[in-house]
Amino acid sequence: MMEEMAKVLESDGKGWVTVEVQVKNACNHCDNSESCGTSAVSKAFSPKVQRFSIPSDRQYQAGELLKLGLPESVLLKAAALVYLLPLLGLFFGVAVASFITFMFNLTSGDFVVIPFAIAGALLFWAKGKKMAKRMEDDTQPVIISHLGHSI
């Protein structure tokens, strides 16, 4: 299970807690004020925090820290959908184009195969992205533990 620290912003009393999670980068140098080209782009285009609501059976005060968890299987499935489905679509497009060139006895098959391969990859990528988004919307992080107030 992937774990992340979150700060409670508010608790509505109806079973939902709004939390804020610091967005981390891969190398952790942006947080240490070290500069590089990637950190400049990261600071310009990515949000610093994410806010969302999660179900809770307890009431928490604003400012308290929680440890949230998300199963790795969800992230792995989403990554497989977004990365592997386009590859499968590429092969599917090549197979369809090869079948068409064989059936119609075309001699210059490359001009048919390449557009079909690209179209198959794009079609499967769009489908994978839609499925990954639906999976992300259906998955909620869970509260693993209550850590108290920050120092």
| Residue-wise pLDDT tens digits, 38-76 | 666 666 666 677 888 888 888 888 889 999 988 888 888
Least confident of 29-43, 47-61, 130-144: 29-43
Q: What is the pLDDT of residue 117?
A: 95
pTM metric for this prediction: 0.62
> Percentage of the chain with pLDDT > 70?
83
> Domain span at residue 134?
2-149
Q: Which residues contact 115 (CB under 8 A, 6 or more apart)?
A: 97
| Contact predicate 104/129, CB 8 Å | no
Q: What is the pLDDT of residues 75-99, one digit of tens each?
A: 888 888 888 999 999 999 999 999 9
Q: Which residues contact 31 (CB under 8 A, 6 or more apart)?
A: 24, 25
State the pLDDT confidence band at 14, using cuts at 50, 70 and 90.
confident
Distance CA 127, CA 74 (A): 17
| Contact predicate 20/49, CB 8 Å | yes
Helix residue ranges per DSSP H, 1-151 = 37-45, 72-103, 110-138
Residue 3 DSSP one-character state: E
- Distances in whole angstroms, Cα of residue 104 to Cα of each of 4, 109, 112, 115: 57, 10, 11, 17
Q: State the total domains in the chain.
A: 1
